[in-house]
């Protein structure tokens, strides 16, 4: 298994975290986003989206962190994606939340603060605080995002950009349930440390 990866990317970290939590190994191939390598013909030939993460397993390629989590769970660690219709629906709902609300809120604020991506930081942080408030509400009612007895790929998909919200200038102090959930994830066997600058 190979993972085309960029060390500071939260989306790539989701996959590395899940590999750790499920005791799997992959060869890590670094794609230098700072140098624009993801838009060069050699990389576009294997991922026309020009983005990481990209997983290659058993000769097949798969792009998108959420999709990769689903694939890895289905193939190697099914307990992270239980075979129950309602549970799968709830997990899909949170995967979608990671790809939309988190991506445009806390993740976008982090990219603006850390990497100087142009944009309205205050408006993005305001959007991110709405996300934090919503997740706080959910985690005040349930230990895990998809409301199951155990963590699922929904937690893995949402964890990175919530745990790194501080890097986007967002203070997690007012969100005790999110902080406790982060602690629960950090305590899981095989946990992989967050990316550091
Ligand atoms: N929906 C995709 C988003 C992937 C994504 O935005 N990747 C970023 C790194 S975090 C990237 O490759 N950016 C470089 C670019 O778009 O040129 C996922 O969840 O994997």
How many other C-beta atoms can be found within 10 angstroms of the C-beta atom of residue 33?
18
Taking only the tens of pLDDT, the chain with its 197 residues reads: 999 999 999 999 999 999 999 999 999 999 999 999 999 999 999 999 999 999 999 999 999 999 999 999 999 999 999 999 999 999 999 999 999 999 999 999 999 999 999 999 999 999 999 999 999 999 999 999 999 999 999 999 999 999 999 999 999 999 999 999 999 999 999 999 999 76
pLDDT of residue 51: 98
Four-CA torsion 151, 153, 156, 158, nearest 10 degrees: -110
Provide residues with CB under 6 Å of ligand 1: 6, 9, 11, 33, 38, 50-53, 64-66, 99
Nearest to 114 by CA among 170, 191, 44, 36: 170
Task: Provide CB contacts within 8 A for 183, sequence distance 6+.
Answer: none
> Which of 5, 11, 13, 44 most suits a substitution to test ligand 1, by most atoms within 8 Å of the C-beta?
11
**Which ligand 1 atom sits closest to the C-alpha of 51?**
12
CB 20 within 8 A of CB 69: no
Determine the distance separating the centroid of ligand 1 and the alpha carbon of 74, expressed in angstroms: 23
Determine the distance separating the centroid of ligand 1 and the alpha carbon of 52, expressed in angstroms: 5
pLDDT of residue 196: 79
Determine the distance separating the centroid of ligand 1 and the alpha carbon of 31, expressed in angstroms: 12
Nearest to 56 by CA among 3, 117, 100, 135: 3
Name the segment(s) of the chain with CATH classification 3.40.30.10. 2-78
Nearest to 71 by CA among 14, 113, 114: 14
So what's the architecture of 2-78 in CATH? Answer: 3-Layer(aba) Sandwich (3.40)
Name the segment(s) of the chain with CATH classification 1.20.1050.10. 82-186
**Which ligand 1 atom sits closest to the C-alpha of 10?**
10
Domain 82-186 has CATH 1.10.3720.10: no
């Amino acid at each position: 298994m190979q993972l085309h990866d960029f060390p500071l990317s939260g989306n790539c970290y989701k996959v590395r975290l899940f590999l750790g939590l499920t005791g799997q190994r992959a060869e890590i191939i670094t794609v230098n986003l700072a140098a624009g390598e993801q838009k060069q013909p050699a990389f576009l030939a294997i991922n026309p989206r020009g983005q990481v993460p990209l997983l290659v397993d058993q000769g097949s390629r798969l792009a998108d962190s959420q999709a990769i989590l689903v694939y890895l769970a289905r193939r190697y660690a099914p307990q992270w994606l239980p075979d129950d219709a309602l549970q799968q629906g709830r997990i899909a709902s949170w995967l979608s939340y990671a790809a939309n609300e988190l991506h445009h809120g806390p993740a976008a604020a982090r990219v603006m603060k850390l990497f100087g991506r142009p944009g309205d930081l205050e408006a993005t942080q305001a959007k991110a605080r709405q996300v934090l408030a919503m997740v706080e509400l959910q985690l005040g009612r349930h230990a895990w995002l998809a409301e199951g007895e155990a963590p699922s790929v929904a937690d893995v998909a949402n964890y990175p950009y919530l745990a790194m919200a501080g890097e986007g200038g967002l203070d997690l102090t007012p969100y005790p349930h999110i902080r406790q959930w982060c602690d629960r994830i950090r305590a899981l066997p095989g946990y992989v440390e967050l990316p550091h600058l």
